[in-house]
Amino acid sequence: MVILGVEHLSKAFGATTVLNDVSLSVDKGEILIVVGPSGSGKTTLLRCIQCLEFPDRGSIVLDGVSFGAGDGPDRLWRPDPPRVLDAKRRRVGFVFQRFNLFANLTAIDNVTIGPRRVLGVAPTDARTRAATILDRLGLADHASKLPSQLSGGQQQRVAIARALSMDPVLMLFDEPTSALDPELVDEVLQTMRELARSGMTMIVVTHELDFAREVGDRVIFMDGGRIVEEGRPEVVFAQPKEERTRAFLRRLLRVSAATAADDHAPSPVEAGHGIPTSERRD
């Protein structure tokens, strides 16, 4: 069952084309991994799927519901009225690179604010649901803490809990571990593994190739605003067909090997090594 259909999506910022006629589909329960260098359109693709950015052309259908009509001869994007679009957008959870938590709210209040203010859930019910989600993510003992009292990994897991509290049918992850120290990465990836096992449909932009191989059902490699290659992770990573894919993976694997060779090496961001800034975000 197809849960998400993206057809002929295009997006430009000024004279720069960021997405160029991108089409893809995601089945219910599928984990789609998106990789590619800076400027390839990965983040913009996610932002367009949730309509945080409006495409210029194309169409998006989530669980049978259109987010915007691009079916005319020009395929120009025709967004829904804001109130209608907001109701549709709630069905998509988005986890950003940065945690974007409310600094003055506790973990549990960060998780309850969406259901209370957006969905109209009663405060008691919202708090009960939030406590259940935090417990599921191993954060029950941290529910009353402010973000400043949590590690980066804990903050990102609270951000995941906040997205889950809206009961989405699709979760989008935009390099959710890129802002974390290396020793905190695995706790976030473990949470995402558990979500995958639960049957959550996910699109994950990441450079964590081991995670992609283990969890991903399919991987797409983007470059220049296009999907250059796609397939099973074990095939794309081991036997890529396109030279551009091979060059990107060689560089990424060299960086990973160099980092792993030094147990005491600082993080790539601190050291100025690792995946260059230009390849960690769009």
Residue 178 to residues 1, 124, 205, 223, 277, Cα–Cα distance (Å): 32, 35, 10, 20, 10
The first and second tokens of residue 219, run together, are 């991987």
pLDDT for residue 71? 61
pLDDT for residue 83? 86
Q: Tell me if residue 197 falls in helix, strand or coil.
A: helix
How many residues are there in the chain? 282
**Cα 199 to Cα 220: distance, rounded to the nearest angstrom:** 20
pLDDT for residue 276? 35
pLDDT for residue 255? 58
Residue 110 to residues 52, 137, 156, 251, Cα–Cα distance (Å): 20, 15, 12, 38
For the chain (282 residues), the mean pLDDT of every run of 10, in chain order, is: 94 96 96 94 95 92 83 77 87 91 96 94 96 95 96 95 96 91 88 94 93 95 96 94 94 64 45 37 47
Rg for the chain, CA atoms, rounded: 19
Contact (CB, 8 A) for 161 and 106: no
Long-range contacts of 245-253 (CB under 8 A, 24+ apart): 245/221, 248/35, 248/36, 248/37, 248/221, 248/223, 249/209, 251/279, 252/207, 252/209, 252/279, 253/209
pLDDT for residue 69? 66
Question: What is the reported pTM?
Answer: 0.87
β-pair type (202-205, 218-223): unpaired
HSE, side-chain direction, 13 A CA sphere, residue 90: 15
